Amino acid sequence: MAVIISGKEVSAKVRAEVKAECEQLKSKGVTPGLAVIIVGDDPASRVYVNNKKKACADVGFVSEEYALPAHTTQQELLSLIDKLNNKPEINGILCQLPLPKHLDEKAVINAISPLKDVDAFHPSNVGRIMIGDYHFLPCTPAGVMELIHSAGIEVSGKNCVVIGRSNIVGKPMAMLLLHENGTVTICHSKTKNLKEICSNADIIVAAVGRPEFVKDDMVKDGAVVLDVGINRDENGKLCGDVDFKAVEPKASYITPVPGGVGPMTIAMLMKNTLKAAKLQNNIE
Catalytically active residues, by annotation: 52, 96, 119
CA distances from 246 to 15, 162, 215 (A): 32, 19, 7
Q: Name every residue whose Cβ is closer than 8 Å to that of residue 49 and which is 6 or more positions away in sequence.
A: 36, 38, 65, 96
Between helix 7-27 and helix 43-59 the angle, nearest 10°, is 50
Which of helix, strand or coil describes residue 201? Answer: coil
DSSP code of residue 68: E
Give the whole-angstrom CA distance, residue 178 versus residue 233: 32
DSSP code of residue 100: P
How many CB atoms are closer than 10 A to CB 6? 17
Long-range contacts of 184-190 (CB under 8 A, 24+ apart): 184/160, 185/159, 185/160, 185/161, 186/162, 187/161, 187/162, 187/163, 188/163, 188/164
Q: Are 218 and 198 in contact (CB under 8 A)?
A: yes
What are the backbone dihedrals phi and psi of residue 92, each rounded to the nearest 5 degrees, phi first? -130, 140
Nearest-CA neighbor of 166 among 153, 154, 175? Answer: 175
Backbone Cα Rg of the chain: 19
